[in-house]
Amino acid sequence: MLKKLEVFDGKISVITAVYNAENHIHSLIESLRHQVDPNFEWVVVDGLSTDNTLDILKKIDDLNIKIISEADFGIYDAFNKGVKLSQGEYYLVAGADDIFYPNAVADYKNAINSNIDIITATVKMGNELAKPMGHSWSWLFGMRAFISCHSVGALIRKELHQKYGFYSRKFPITADQLFIKHCCQSGAQVKVIDKLVGNYGVDGVSARDMFGGCTEMFRVQLLTKENKWVQYLILVIKLTLRMFR
């Protein structure tokens, strides 16, 4: 049974960037429909899909959904558009192949308070459970030292973009790494909650373009002032391991 459409309370927006996602988007839609707390808005930024993605989205009448469809400069340009269009005080990112568990919105909303900028929870990635690795490990794990995962696993205060800027178009694969690390290293307050909130799809661009992801991550680590010689060594090790996989 579909849930009754509720008036948006201004707390949480979910932002999704899509392009030709008809084969993946159904599971995300169903996961949003089955939220225990259905009081959120869903902002979808479509990059002019040529399949049935838009038709699927336009038929949705039981979610607080906003859709824009226009050319963009990649996923982070789309996210920036979504952030600017969103009405929520906080937002979650969700890829078309991600899934929220029914408790996700409720657990995030219950954890909100005025002193917190980012709330992060546990996310399932393949067969693993992703959690923050600890601030002292940022030299190795990047943003994963602070949050479990950018998509599904982090509720982000929208105002942070006024302080620290939007996602950089100079990093088509790892702009989230740069933004989150910059926020956290600049004093953004992060709250970790012991809740499992969803499943992160492992077939995104960062998984497909491993070499591109490694080199961009290297640039992010240097820009966020991690020891450059250690970062050179980590880059060489990562690239070598991927060559022999």
Q: Mean pLDDT across the stretch 73-98?
A: 97
Q: Which amino acid is at 209?
A: D
Between strands 90-93 and 154-157, the pairing is antiparallel
Q: Mean pLDDT across the stretch 85-97?
A: 97
Full set of structural domains in the chain with CATH: 12-201 (3.90.550.10)
Neighbours of 69 (CB within 10 A): 17
- 170/157 Cα distance (integer angstroms): 23
Q: Mean pLDDT across the stretch 214-239?
A: 95
Residue 138 C-alpha from the chain's centroid: 18
The pLDDT of residue 163 is above 50:
yes
The pLDDT of residue 23 is above 70:
yes
Long-range contacts of 216-222 (CB under 8 A, 24+ apart): 216/171, 216/172, 216/173, 216/174, 216/177, 217/142, 217/174, 217/177, 219/171, 219/174, 220/142, 220/171, 220/174, 220/177, 220/178, 220/181, 221/139, 221/142
Between strands 12-18 and 65-69, the pairing is unpaired
Q: Which residues sit opposite 191 in a β-bridge?
A: 119
Cβ atoms 173, 100 nearer than 8 A: no
Q: Mean pLDDT across the stretch 134-163?
A: 97
Taking only the tens place, the pLDDT of each residue in 184-215 is 999 999 999 999 999 999 875 555 577 899 99
Return the residue matching tokens 């009448």. Answer: 61
The pLDDT of residue 68 is above 60:
yes
In the DSSP assignment, the letter for residue 11 is: S
**Predicted pLDDT at 207:** 53
